[in-house]
Amino acid sequence: MRPLQIACLAVAMALLTCCSDRSQVSRIIWFDSPATFFEEAFPLGNGRIGMMIHGDPFNDIIVLNEESLWAGGPVDPYMNPDAWKYLDEVREALFREDYQSAERIVRNIQGKFSESYAPLGDLYFSFSDSGTISEYCRNLDIRSGISTIQYKLNDVSISREAFISYPDQVAVLKFTASDKALSFGTSAKSLLKFNTSFSGTNYYMDGLAPVHAEPSYRGDIPDAIVYDTVGKGMRYRMIVSILENDGILTANDEGFSIEDASEVILLVSIATSYNGFDKDPGLEGKDERSLAEKILSSASLYSYKELKRRHREDFTDLFDRVEISLNYSSAPDLPINERLKAYTAGSDDPDLEALYFQFGRYLLISSSRPGGIPANLQGIWNHHLRPPWSSNYTANINSEMNYWPAEVTNLSETHMPLLEFIERLSITGAVTAKTFYNCRGWCCSHNSDIWAMTNPVGDFGKGHPVWANWSMAGPWYCLHLYEHFAFTCDTVWLRDYAWPLMKGAARFCLDYLVEGPDGYLVTAPSTSPENEFLDANGIRGSTLYGSTSDMALIRGLFNKIIEINRFLDREDELINEVISAIDYLYPYQIGEKGNLQEWYHDWQDRDPHHRHISHLIGLYPDNQISPTETPDLADAARRSLELRGDGGTGWSKAWKINAWARLLDGNHAYDMLRAHLTYSDPDPATQYTGGGTFPNLLDSHPPFQIDGNFGGTSGIAEMLLQSHNGEIHLLPALPDRWSSGYINGLRARGGFTVDQKWSNNELLVAIIIPDRSCSIQIRYRDQVKRFDVEAGIPLTINSLNF
Ligand code: FUC
């Protein structure tokens, strides 16, 4: 055990999992009432199965999800084989500065919309309602992923516990009463096609997802939901199995009832027919029924106690890698909704900030596990048939932001679903590159889905190019490949898996770049997601050439290609092409206002406070711009952030926390964090529209979008540790408000685990454990020192050696 962890273990051991003692429960989120809205319910998940726990004592609902349950089937990437033929025409219009014509013609370079993530169904529990409820408490222990609801029904103590096990792949529900007073009926319903049945001690729901679900923003259009009649579409099976019950069971195909029990244990097993992105889940699907049965019979071999132990070990093993305390504060004696409201009103609650940081890690552990599908726009938690933005993968910020905390907060394995998804994207993306752009390599556009679609969306011309015609997701996803390597130093993985994918993305970029009017290489057509410019004549548009964000993404990829090639010591024909191109990329420009230009020319923004800050990609998540290496560009980025202002949606504010942290301005990053944690009313009728956080701590765009949670967590990490260019920067953006505290277990690039403790806003001690022997530069404030370190041997940094 690392030294700084010893002190923290005592706190961990003392953790309380019920509401009777509410002090020092910094890993417990609790309410004193059931959830009325989804945004008050607790998310539980094992990466694959998701549940939202509402906790009503009389009529309870558990929302069920499974990560692979999507509408649709394999995408036909050849959907618009002639699209590329319009490219020259768009370019000609652009280079004669006729942006309006370019914007009209570029609509020919569009394909279909993505498919939607589907809601599996709801489990209903109707408890007998003769009695008075008292001492109600609903809590979620984010350290162990266990939710507990406790209350008294008259004089009987009732407890309901739920968790979803990754090792055993089932959800476990345990209901207990101090007397034989548990009487309830259970049934299941779905917004999808479904039927239910009962046999033995198992209740079944079998269902089917549509073969097409239109994005919700397309409104009430014909055939918004389409089911197939010849066997296409994703099937699913859900089984609720009664593992233990000391009451009287009655059942029919609609549901089952249990009377006069003191203990009931239910296992929920779910499987879908998903068989890979390129197989029809209906015609070539897996046998979801036998899969669900198999999972259930394996899990049923364990007692409840064993299942819980195995779950807890698995979950805490990941969660406990990072510990944080800000100002050594404890939680106020308030339910989370009241706590968030008090915080929004200005109260000091550093423990809430620490809890929020850890909640992002909790959500990543719960929604993204090796072998699975990447966390989507709502992670895995969705109750809409046509969810907001299809709950798909939006690649111009959102799906990447989901994975920003993965490496730095020591959850590298949760990154794998995204990293493995990239290989699938490269397959459809090669066809998109050829048919939409006549380019080599692979590309990916604004949206994707479980079918790894990569085409520009818009329904063949109906989408606004401001979001539809952006195809730079390849380089952005490649940054994730690079980061995984940078943090883990897994050279074999880099060489065998990541490198070919990165080269494919680079090939696309090389072919897509053209010589612009000033002789530089530029992207054309180009956009700066999802902002619009006012050109020199004050005319509004979104299609241009050489947006700063495109150039930054390509420059970032090319830099990494050159770096990796040197590292792997390979002779590669691509490298010469990249080396010849990189110096001709249109460079960053500083505008008249001192800002980092977003557009090729120094144009005005139609919306100066636009939520996207795509032109700052080089500041964060990439590291092309930094106060130490490129101070002029860093000043310009700062000016851009100031001009953009501190408003925005949930994810927008989260991005700005990270950006201010990279500018080493901890106080501004802290202000953004506070803005991000603004209470957002769960009732859509009275919802605050400028981002924020719902009572259950899920991010509010609004509506609920999980990206802001992950971006908020990475932002806090970024304030406390950064690592670039062979240097570990300790407490780089510590805000004045966090005068003391510790954070243990963050990871730094190069393969280091870092513990830090500070007091009176000064670093007391840092302990750095290297994965391998090397030489490392440490930065704290203006001091920089180099140390030689040995694998596994802690390096202690304190006032004696620094
Ligand atoms: C991008 C954003 C929107 C939203 C959507 C899912 O298009 O501009 O605000 O977050 O993704």
Three state DSSP letters for 41-107: CEEEECCCEEEEECCCCCEEEEEEEECCCECCCCCCCCCCCCHHHHHHHHHHHHHCCCHHHHHHHHH
Average pLDDT over residues 453-466: 98
- Checking if the pLDDT of 478 tops 90, the result is yes
Residue type, 385: L
Nearest protein Cα to ligand 1, atom 8: 530
Does residue 447 surpass a pLDDT of 60?
yes
Ligand 1 center–CA 261 separation, angstroms: 48
CA 54 to chain centre: 23
Model confidence, pTM: 0.96
Q: Determine the pLDDT at residue 694.
A: 97
- The closest residue, in CA terms, to atom 9 on ligand 1 is 649
Higher confidence at residue 5 or residue 754? 754
State the pLDDT at residue 12: 33
Kindly give the pairing relationship between strand 146-153 and strand 248-252.
Answer: unpaired
- Asked if 473 and 448 touch (Cβ cutoff 8 Å), the reply is yes
686 contacts: CB under 8 Å, gap ≥ 6: none
Question: What sign results for the dihedral spanned by CA atoms 314, 316, 317, 322?
Answer: positive
Write the pLDDT tens digit of every residue in 564-613.
Answer: 999 998 778 899 999 999 999 999 999 999 999 999 999 999 999 999 99
pLDDT (0 to 100) of residue 10: 32
Which amino acid appears at position 60 of this protein? D
The 10s digit of each residue's pLDDT in 306-345 is 999 999 999 999 999 999 999 999 899 999 999 999 999 9
Q: How far is the CA of 191 from the centre of ligand 1 (A)?
A: 25
Which atom of ligand 1 sits closest to the CA of residue 701?
10
CA of 202 to the centre of ligand 1 (A): 41
Ligand 1 atom nearest to CA at 529: 8
SS3 per residue for 451-491: CCCCCCCCCCCCCCHHHHCCCCHHHHHHHHHHHHHHHHCCH
d(CA 326, CA 348) in angstroms, rounded, equals 11
Domain 10-70+125-319 has CATH 3.40.50.1820: no
Across the range 31-46, mean pLDDT stands at 98
> Relative to the CA of 530, which ligand 1 atom is closest?
8
- For residue 645, the CA-to-ligand 1 centroid distance in Å is 18
Task: Give the model's pLDDT for residue 8.
Answer: 33
Q: Where are the beta strands (DSSP E) in 685-761?
A: 721-724, 727-730, 741-748, 752-759
Q: What is the pLDDT at residue 451? A: 98
Q: Which pLDDT score is estimated for 572?
A: 80
CA of 695 to the centre of ligand 1 (A): 22
Q: What residues does 235 pair with on adjacent strands?
A: 208
What is the rounded CA–CA span in Å between residue 164 and residue 44?
7
In sequence order, the β-bridge partners of residue 786 are 777
Q: Which of 377, 384, 398, 449 to mutate to test the pocket of ligand 1 (most atoms within 8 A of CB)?
A: 398
Residue 529 has pLDDT above 70, yes or no: yes
Q: Which residues, in sequence order, are bridge partners of residue 204?
A: 197, 239
Condensed to tens digits (0 to 9), the pLDDT of residues 192-205 reads 999 999 999 999 99
Whether the per-residue pLDDT at 21 is higher than 50: the answer is no
Quote the CA–CA distance of 545 and 567 in Å, as a whole number. Answer: 33
CA distances from 225 to 67, 208, 386, 457, 460 (A): 19, 12, 8, 18, 19
Which residue owns the Cα nearest ligand 1 atom 6?
Answer: 389
What angle is formed at CA 703 by the lines to CA 697 and CA 705, rounded to 5 degrees?
60
Query: How big is the CA angle at 460 (ends 459 and 464), to the nearest 5 degrees?
Result: 70
Q: Ligand 1 atom closest to Cα of 467?
A: 7
pLDDT value of position 261: 97
Q: Is the pLDDT of residue 16 over 70?
A: no
Name the token pair of 97: 């500065």
| Ligand 1 pocket mutation pick from 216, 394, 532 by most atoms within 8 angstroms of CB | 394
Ranking 26-35, 339-348, 485-494, 712-721 by mean pLDDT, the lowest is: 26-35
CB 779 within 8 A of CB 766: no
pLDDT of 18 over the 80 cut: no
Residue among 382, 531, 705, 706 whose CB has most ligand 1 atoms within 8 A, to mutate = 705
Residues with CB under 6 A from ligand 1: 377, 389, 394, 398, 467, 530, 611, 649, 651, 701, 705
For the cut 60, the answer to whether the pLDDT of residue 15 exceeds it is: no
Distance between CA 366 and CA 142 in Å, rounded? 10
The minimum-distance atom of ligand 1 relative to the CA of 649 is 9
Residue 181 and residue 242: Cα distance in Å, rounded? 18
The predicted pLDDT at position 235 comes to 98
Average pLDDT over residues 169-178: 98
Read off the pLDDT of each residue in 514-537 and give the average, rounded to a whole number. Answer: 97
What is the CA(180)–ligand 1 centre distance, in A? 51
- Predicted pLDDT at 6: 36
CA of 757 to the centre of ligand 1 (A): 37
Give percent above pLDDT 90 in the chain.
Answer: 94
Could you give the angle at which helices 573-582 and 548-568 cross, rounded to 10 degrees?
Answer: 140
Q: Looking at residues 290-301, what average pLDDT do you find? A: 98
Question: How many angstroms separate the Cα of 773 from the Cα of each of 296, 390, 721, 729?
Answer: 46, 47, 21, 19
**What is the C-alpha separation between 642 and 471, in angstroms, rounded?**
28
Closest CA to 208 of 385, 383, 461, 455: 385
Please say if the pLDDT value at position 19 is more than 70: no
Using alpha carbons, list the distances in angstroms from residue 370 to 167, 277, 364, 401, 711: 12, 17, 11, 18, 21
The 10 Å CB-count burial string (b at 16+, else e) for 342-354 is bbbeeeebbbbbb
DSSP H helical segments within 595-665, as ranges? 631-644, 650-662
Nearest atom of ligand 1 to the alpha carbon of 398: 11
The pLDDT value recorded for residue 712 is 98
Q: Is the pLDDT of residue 112 over 70?
A: yes
Task: For residue 278, give the nearest of 415, 13, 76 by alpha carbon.
Answer: 76
Give the pLDDT confidence of 227-268 residue by residue, as tens digits.
998 999 999 999 999 999 999 999 999 999 999 999 999 999
What is the per-residue pLDDT for 685?
A: 84
pLDDT digits (tens, 9 = 90+) for 63-88: 999 999 999 999 999 999 999 999 99
Query: Is residue 94 pLDDT above 70, yes or no?
Result: yes
CA–centroid distance, residue 619 to ligand 1 (Å): 20
Distance CA 431, CA 424 (A): 12
Question: Distance, CA 415 to ligand 1 centroid (Å)?
Answer: 22
Largest CA distance in the chain: 82
> Residue 652 CA: which ligand 1 atom is closest?
9
CA torsion sign, 361 to 362 to 367 to 372?
A: positive
* 720-742 core/surface letters (b: 16 or more CB in 10 A; e: else): bbbbbeebbbbbbbbbebbbbbb
pLDDT score of 780: 98
DSSP, collapsed to helix, strand or coil, labels residue 298 as helix
The reported pLDDT for the residue numbered 746 is 98
Q: Cα(257)–Cα(187) distance, rounded to whole angstroms? A: 9
Residue 334 identity:
L
Residue recorded with tokens 């919802």: 687
pLDDT bin (cut points 50, 70, 90) of residue 5 is: very low
Which ligand 1 atom sits nearest the alpha carbon of residue 707? 10
User: 569: exposed, middle or buried (C-beta count within 10 Å: 0-12, 13-18, 19+)?
Assistant: exposed
Q: DSSP string of 389-447?
A: GGG-EETTTHHHHTTHHHHHTT-GGGGHHHHHHHHHHHHHHHHHHHHHH--SS----SE
The pLDDT value given to residue 467? 98
d(CA 485, CA 495): 10
CA gap 499, 482 in Å, rounded: 9
Query: What's the whole-number average pLDDT of the chain?
Result: 95
Q: Is residue 9 predicted with pLDDT exceeding 70?
A: no
- What span, in angstroms and rounded, lies between the C-alpha atoms of 419 and 26? 32
pLDDT band at 689; cut points 50, 70, 90: confident
- d(C-alpha 482, C-alpha 160), whole Å: 44
Residues 122-173: tens digit of each pLDDT: 999 999 877 899 999 999 999 999 999 999 999 999 999 999 999 999 999 9
- Burial 743-756, CB ≥16 within 10 A → b, else e: bbbbbbbbbbbbbb
pLDDT for the residue numbered 396: 98
139, 140, 141, 143: CA torsion to nearest 10: -170
Nearest to 129 by CA among 55, 54, 59, 53: 59
- Taking CA atoms, 784 is separated from 418, 630, 632, 776, 779, in Å, by 35, 17, 21, 10, 4
Beta strands 774-780 and 727-730 are parallel
Whose CA is closest to atom 11 on ligand 1? Answer: 394
Distance 398 CA to ligand 1 centre (A): 7
Mutate to test the pocket of ligand 1, among 216, 528, 530 (most ligand atoms within 8 A of CB): 530
pLDDT above 50 (res 120): yes
The answer to whether residue 295 scores a pLDDT higher than 60 is yes
* CA dist 361 → 162, 205, 617, 746, 754 (Å): 19, 32, 23, 12, 17
Instruction: Give counts: helices (H), strands (E), the chain.
Output: 20, 34
Q: For ligand 1, what atom is nearest to the CA of residue 651?
A: 10
Residues 6+ apart with CB under 8 A from 104: none
